[in-house]
Structure 1
Amino acid sequence: MTQQGAQIAGATAARDAASDWQALRDSGDIQFSPLPPMKPPETPGWLKLLGEWLEALGKWLRGLFEPVGQVLGVSWSAFEKVLIALAILLVLFILWRLAQPLLDRLRNRQPPEEAEWAPDREAAVALLEDADRLAAEGRFGEAVHLLLKRSVSHIAEARPDWLLPASTAREISEFSMLSDAARHAFRVIAVRVERSLFALRDLEVDDWQAARAAYSDFALQDFGGEAA
């Protein structure tokens, strides 16, 4: 292609590009003009009113306290900061007084008490019947030991988080989560089981009756001591 031909082709391409660009601008599919400026959000009327009220209050306070500041040798700007700090303290005090009854109620509210543990009635009656059969045969030590062993088993089934593998009857008798009657029953039974094991002698009928009465008073206290 000659130099003249190249110049003609370039001029033609430039005219075509300009024509296409103008056609694109005239189509209206694309906006080329700058966007109109966004209108700032209008201030709510109540906020305007509050601002005007605060401004009027500030002027009133200045007229009231500026002479006082001049007498004290304090500029209005410093006096104004003191007044703002006092106002904040006053608001905080009012809020605290309003919230104090609620805070007192929350502080004094006690967590719901967990129902005291007691063995299942049928299990307790069955245990007493089995122990009574041993006692009727004069096997008082075995009867008392059965009360202790099966009572611990009942606790382990109902409250497994209370017991450790090494928990002793003495320790169980001091559990704060047990009722007074339950702790007394375990204490009475534990003393007699220890006596039977370490004194190397069988228990007497009085020992059995004391252990049975303590267990019955605890396990069947809501049922009038049935199976006693």
Structure 2
Amino acid sequence: MVSCVPFSNSSPSSWGFKVGDLGGGFGTKVAIYPEDVLVVYPAKKLKVPIKWTATRTEEFQASVHSRDHMNIAELACDPEGRILALSVKTLANTGAYLTNPALLIPLGLMSKVITSVYEIPSIYLETQCVLTNTAPIGAYRGAGRPEGIYPMERLIDMTAREMGIDPVIMRKKNLIRIEQLPYTTPVGEIYDSGIFLRCLNRLLS
């Protein structure tokens, strides 16, 4: 809420904001909404505390949404199903206007985790944003990770089916191994720890 203070031409120390106790949904709170800014003006003009509460419907319609990506993705594999390269082209809807986390979260973090927990030597990644007439986009429930992890896992399932390989076996062949850590992904992220095979085996059991 301190980000609203500059619109009032006053010092942040002269303002106080009170929000009821609640947990979760931190991503939707990152964005600055018009109502947050508008409530500052009457508070300053009238010199009284101003309370504004959105209805559940208003909150759902006006707060940030997420996950509106269209992906064209391809895997290059050897005959045994080991991944050689990944190509991803993403068209991302950012809504009717940009919020402050609109590009950083859904696209920035998506780009960092797109290879998931797999050893992928090479990647081509292209992202394009479009403004539309929908709700604005921002951080929401996982904040950029599902946008990257879901298409990767879906791609492995589809590739395994096309090659006639058990998708579990294909995953095991391509998981980053403990002895490879610390591991640098093709987008420059460093994994300093992880027991991915053990996690998969535990899930299967």
Q: Could you say which TM-score interval applies, normalised by the shorter chain?
A: under 0.3
Task: State the TM-score, normalizing by the size of structure 1.
Answer: 0.21
Structure ranking higher on relative contact order (CA contacts 8 Å, 6+ apart): 2
In the superposition, the TM-score normalised over structure 2's length comes to 0.22
**Of the two, which has the highest radius of gyration?**
1
- Structure with bigger helix share is 1
Which one has a larger percent strand, Structure 1 or Structure 2?
2
